[in-house]
Structure 1
């Protein structure tokens, strides 16, 4: 467990473009970046040593201004693929009919809500809509604090949950310049690779119990533990299924709520279940989902147990002007159509298993790869400087990300040390796409060895 003041110091964004390299870029892109800096300011960051310029997209592909194709193995928001024709048609038609807020009676929000809630356990039977995942997290925190009367929030030590004020203060990934809230405590992520045989579920439950006790000794009433169900920014930790059960037991005994952040692992991405928490056979008190819900359209939600929502609703009026607008609902409904009709959850499992097996074969050939892990189409590959000490190799991870970009395969990195490749492509990603990624990854690793990156490992 770590207190608020002990989280990691501020650092540049993982896989972020360094503006000091501006002069090395082609004139067209250099001038665009100069305009970005003047118009948008320094908070807006670009990916990659050599930023990617895109103009169109389709399926798992992004296309540049000269027709060059990039394989997208990173963007989870267009969950059913970029510009999916069924989603595009649904958005276009609805925009021609009606697009307004939820204070008028309309069948659309009712039918979609019934359909969405049918994918959740029966205990979760209320939905509250927002425009973004950050807003949904913000709402979930309000619900938890109102229901419990507490203020304390427990998170993992490299978590990311959003960019609103409330979500940012529980997102240590953002760095020291975005301080954690005064009533926020962090616990280590469930890292099976470095557990030395210890049960990660028992360890996490013990750390959460200590955090609850620590809060109470300081006069803070704990309200909730919130976790991304794949621990994506912590380094992608999925296994063993069920390791979250002991945590839920601790929380229930303490009267603390469990918030499952499904913005990244949800909507069938993990291949085994519609929702990441279901792999652990648990039922959270609140679930938050984000823009993958509408393939990038501004729609998100908090799904809530009824007693929590009733307690909040009796005392507090909630309204989000265009959360669940008609056009966004049309997109969200079309996304469910595509997931079901194109068997995308099954595809995530099959394509993900194939990709994972391929990366494990590469692990046997390259000493720099320490671990391959994940579920479905959410995978992590960890780079090390030394297999015995398991010292992270952040520089190599970023170099491989850059070399893949040069081969027009787009991924990024995550983890407390930025040494884990984070692979989460759109759900239609195929075995053929996986082969392209694996071939590019192998070529990139061979090239890094040739350049001497692996010497001494």
Structure 2
């Protein structure tokens, strides 16, 4: 007699869902809010709903770029999947229209597309293009960067390989400091009278010299245009312009990872690299492009694409560029334009940033507020003077925002003390007001609480390098 399957029902209780997940899903697949995970069953615009119908304001879901379940995106998917979904070895209009639409948003000579399924795949392919074009292997990346979960991009992601248990950094990967001017290696406190941009870009120049001195060459410099996992980092003006010049003079190519911040999120421009007035050789895009559907792309120049075509190995991706994915991406880009979501990101983002800056005046633990458009970070510290990371406080506030105010935010950065906001692009002024009211209550709650109840690790993120410090390339230490 067959055993009864207690899960074979139309809907499960949250407890049963957890039991089934624990039985069949790998333990390394972590959840948000692990002590009390959310079971989300529906989304609409900037809101998510749990199994009990509780509504949560979504401030972290940059994947649902034009809003959860946008009707135009849903209809585009429904209509195309009802016709055909096949690979891109057959001609179809959605593919070429998507490539035309995407490249029309790009500056310069960025006009050739390769379609993939994710940001990880996009960055993997970008490395292949760069290495074939330059005939070199060495890559320069930034500390705390995250470029995906494939082996090739884990190797260039210090955010991953520096974690306990991570694989050692390969010799062909070179790590420059993250250009964090608040608590980074060079910051406004320990280098008050120095050009921070130059200090950070000089590191890359020294890395290039070291690579050459070992008889090697530079394949690529890759960086997120704005670091998200690294703590919502806004590089100083001129940073990428200087590095791009140095890398190109060394024969390397430049890769802009726009997987987190592209498609109008910064408000002032369609892509975040444009805020630095540079044009990369290769751009990778994904998450917001599909509004939750797995689709991504690599955009490059005809020169790099044509060189890759001479490799003798055809590029083929079974699902990359399929008609359904491209129809969805086309709908997403249409909605951004039709609903003026880039303009919305600028207006609402300015309101959010200006009012968040007021929190610095009200609360000692708000050390820094930074951002552009709907990409904002609030860095929490023990005090403005010591700038020691308030990690436990940040984690407690994330939980309180969810449990008390039904607002979803996250924390990240090297010390997990930066509150991150990167909501769907339909986020409005009323949503910003709701967030600001709630975060003010939470900050007040924990600022007045005895520190004994919320103890953060005693680590000082402030670097006290002498002004005459000479950079030598970092040797990454793997903590076992």
TM-score, normalised via structure 2 length: 0.87
Please state whether the residue corresponding to 1:435 is helix, strand or coil.
helix
Q: Work out which of the residue numbers 86, 104, 122 in structure 1 matches 2:108.
A: 122
Q: Residue 193 of structure 1 aligns with which residue?
A: 182
* 1:201/1:244 contact within 8 Å kept: no
Please state whether the residue corresponding to 1:36 is helix, strand or coil.
helix
Alpha-carbon deviation of 1:139? 0.1
* 1:168/1:178 contact within 8 Å kept: no
Please state whether the residue corresponding to 1:386 is helix, strand or coil.
coil
Q: Residue 337 of structure 1 aligns with which residue?
A: 334
Alpha-carbon deviation of 1:216? 2.9
Task: Evaluate the alpha carbon distance shift between residue 309 and residue 371 of structure 1 in structure 2; reply closer, same or farther with a 3 A threshold.
Answer: same
Q: Residue 171 of structure 2 aligns with which residue?
A: 182
Alpha-carbon deviation of 1:182? 3.0
Q: Residue 131 of structure 1 aligns with which residue?
A: 117
Matches of 2:172 and 2:424, distance apart in 1: 36
* 1:191/1:200 contact within 8 Å kept: no
Q: Residue 65 of structure 1 aligns with which residue?
A: 51
Q: Residue 89 of structure 1 aligns with which residue?
A: 75
Deviates more, 1:177-186 or 1:194-203: 194-203
Q: Work out which of the residue numbers 103, 106, 123 in structure 1 matches 2:89.
A: 103
Q: Residue 435 of structure 1 aligns with which residue?
A: 433
Alignment gaps of 5+ in structure 1:
1-26
Deviation digits for residues 220-243 of structure 1 (CA, Å, limit 9, x no counterpart)? 432111111011122112254443
* 2:126/2:298 contact within 8 Å kept: yes
* 2:43/2:49 contact within 8 Å kept: yes
* 1:169/1:178 contact within 8 Å kept: no
The reply on whether 1:290 has 2:277 as its aligned counterpart is: no
Matches of 1:456 and 1:234, distance apart in 2: 22
Alignment of 1:58-457 (within 5 A): 58-174=44-160, 175-179=163-167, 180-194=169-183, 195-196=187-188, 197=192, 198-315=194-311, 316-406=313-403, 407-453=405-451
Alpha-carbon deviation of 1:395? 1.3
Matches of 1:224 and 1:209, distance apart in 2: 13
Q: Which is greater in Rg?
A: 2
Alpha-carbon deviation of 1:199? 2.9
Please state whether the residue corresponding to 1:356 is helix, strand or coil.
helix
Matches of 2:195 and 2:316, distance apart in 1: 43
Please state whether the residue corresponding to 1:63 is helix, strand or coil.
strand
Alpha-carbon deviation of 1:277? 0.5
Deviates more, 1:424-433 or 1:231-240: 231-240
Deviates more, 1:117-126 or 1:375-384: 117-126
Alignment gaps of 5+ in structure 2:
1-11, 457-480
Matches of 1:101 and 1:142, distance apart in 2: 21
Alpha-carbon deviation of 1:59? 0.3
The reply on whether 1:42 has 2:38 as its aligned counterpart is: no
Please state whether the residue corresponding to 1:109 is helix, strand or coil.
helix
Matches of 1:131 and 1:295, distance apart in 2: 13
Structure whose residues are more often helix by fraction? 1
Alpha-carbon deviation of 1:219? 4.0
Alpha-carbon deviation of 1:448? 1.2
Alpha-carbon deviation of 1:354? 0.7
Alpha-carbon deviation of 1:105? 1.7
Alignment RMSD? 1.8
Deviates more, 1:211-220 or 1:348-357: 211-220
Matches of 1:67 and 1:257, distance apart in 2: 50
Alpha-carbon deviation of 1:213? 2.0
Matched length: 431
* 2:392/2:455 contact within 8 Å kept: no
Matches of 1:408 and 1:34, distance apart in 2: 25
Matches of 1:349 and 1:220, distance apart in 2: 43
Deviation digits for residues 430-450 of structure 1 (CA, Å, limit 9, x no counterpart)? 000011111111111121134
* 1:126/1:305 contact within 8 Å kept: yes
Matches of 1:110 and 1:337, distance apart in 2: 15
Deviation digits for residues 108-161 of structure 1 (CA, Å, limit 9, x no counterpart)? 211221111010013111111101110000000011111111111111111100
Matches of 1:189 and 1:199, distance apart in 2: 15
